[in-house]
Amino acid sequence: MKYAYYPGCSGHGTSVEYEASTRAVCRALNMDLVEIEDWNCCGSTPAHSVSHELSAALSARNLMQASKTGADCVISPCPSCSSNLKMARYRMQKPAFKARVDELLDAPTPANAEGGADLMETCSVLQAIVENVGLENIASRVSYPLEGIKVVTYYGCLLSRPVQVAKFDDPENPVSLDNIMKALGAEVLPFALKTECCGAAMGIPDVNIPGSLSGRILDTAKAVGAEAVITACPLCHMNLDLRQRQAARISGKPFFGLPVFYYTQMIALAFGLPKDAMRLDKLAVNPYPLLDKIAERRKVRVSAELEAMKAAGAAS
């Protein structure tokens, strides 16, 4: 299936590993990504905090650019970008709002029969993988299962909220990442803070906000026995990974030492994709002890299987 791909600004900066692994995984899953030509920033939280029209106008330009790709749907790895693009289309269904946004643009957005804007739909890459590719497909591609490592999944705020716009998964107890991780052979622990806010971009003005919020998420993850945290959001990842030491200090805890992965990195790992497809070197918290553990367990499992095969062969 062909998708108009919107990478989002952080793909060039703080989340290069997400960008790389997303592209590699999509390729492996036969998802045809056509990057939207000359896309611009969606405006993120600052834009919609200042003006819904400004925010929608920035998104509308992208959605109009997207229609040149000939795809049916825009996908973005970033929940915040996906949410903004979705929200713009949602709000612009109202003709009055569309008119106000059109005034900001070089050319007005195309109209549909009801007088709303006729723009392409957006979903997150996660949603496209779960709903269009399917878990069976993912499971069938797994060459190197994750050997039952214990993980918690962390979704953040925007993947399934606001409910009426996101229309994906459960806003309180989402399970899409859980199902993917299970398909990859990890053990997913129950985790009540799946959608608790990490502090978003508030770190720039005040590090204490994400520090304490992320500290709590990491502390609980550690308490329930997680060996890693799995996320799908660049901003969440920055707060949990890059700011992990800061979070520990601010919340008065010893360093958690919890590796935080993008789910796409884990898919790439389980599929056996080359290391360029994972960019594990970009992670702030050292992931290698955990990867060693996976390798160790695999060795034990494979040799046990080998022994069993030998025994079965001897018996017959």
Is 104 among the residues that bind other proteins (CB under 8 A)? yes
Give the count of alpha carbons within 13 A of 134, CB side only.
4
Beta carbon of residue 217, minimum distance to other proteins (angstroms, whole number): 10
| Contacting residue, 33, 146, 209, 266, with other proteins by CB under 8 A | 209
A 10 A CB-CB count for 307 gives 10
Is 111 among the residues that bind other proteins (CB under 8 A)? no
Kindly provide the residue ranges of all beta strands, DSSP E only, lying in 169-249, ordered along the sequence.
187-188, 228-231
Angle between helices 263-271 and 16-28 (to 10 degrees): 50
Q: What are phi and psi of 127, to 5 degrees?
A: -60, -40
Binding mask 266-285 for other proteins (x = CB under 8 A): ---------------xxxx-
Is 85 among the residues that bind other proteins (CB under 8 A)? no
| Contacting residue, 70, 143, 205, 313, with other proteins by CB under 8 A | 205
Which residue lies nearer to other proteins by CB, 78 or 138?
Answer: 78
**Among 5, 7, 48, 74, which residue's Cα sits nearest to residue 201?**
48
Question: What single letter denotes the amino acid at residue 72?
Answer: D
CB within 8 Å of 224: residues ≥ 6 apart: 152, 189, 190, 191
Beta carbon of residue 147, minimum distance to other proteins (angstroms, whole number): 23
Helix, strand, coil percentages (3-state) for the chain, rounded to 5, are 55, 10, 35
Is 25 among the residues that bind other proteins (CB under 8 A)? no
| Contacting residue, 28, 139, 142, 224, with other proteins by CB under 8 A | 224
Is 172 among the residues that bind other proteins (CB under 8 A)? yes
Which of positions 142-171 make contact with other proteins (CB under 8 A)?
A: 157-158, 161-163, 170-171
Show the tokens assigned to 294.
């996976």
Is 68 among the residues that bind other proteins (CB under 8 A)? no
Beta carbon of residue 275, minimum distance to other proteins (angstroms, whole number): 15
d(CA 6, CA 156): 20
d(CA 236, CA 217): 11
- Residues found near other proteins in the complex (CB under 8 A): 9-10, 12-14, 16, 38-41, 43-54, 57-58, 61, 103-106, 157-158, 161-163, 170-173, 190, 192-193, 195-197, 199-209, 212-213, 220, 223-225, 242-243, 245-246, 281-284
